[in-house]
Amino acid sequence: MGREFGIRTLFVWQPNPEYGYDLRFHLFSSQLDPLSPRREGYGYAAENRRSLESVPGFLWLADMQAGLEKPLYVDDVHYTAEMNRLIAGRIAEDIRRRGWLRR
């Protein structure tokens, strides 16, 4: 649809606490569903990351929280202000890299 209307689209695979995040730092890890389909879905996506990244306008951020040893969530899945800034920075960096910004 974006292509049809001349609109650039960016699809971001966002971080999730159940993939690549040390849950010792998750203040609400007890709220996470141990049977959540996100666990399997993120694992499957990671295995197929190369094919996902070949899609124009795709950005993989699922594992950007690996190694960040601090609270990044304000509840089971919503980000802290700091994590929102980190994600926004990575998206902005990708948009600049693609040359999508007008000067």
Give the pLDDT confidence of 6-31 residue by residue, as tens digits. Answer: 999 999 999 999 888 999 999 888 88
User: In this predicted model, what pLDDT tens digit does every residue of 71-81 receive, in sequence order?
Assistant: 999 998 899 99
Calculate mean pLDDT across residues 62-85: 94
pLDDT at 103: 62
pLDDT at 101: 83
pLDDT above 70 (res 33): yes
- Whether 71 and 80 have beta carbons less than 8 Å apart is answered as yes
- pTM for this model (two decimals): 0.86
* Radius of gyration of the chain from its Cα atoms, rounded to whole angstroms: 15
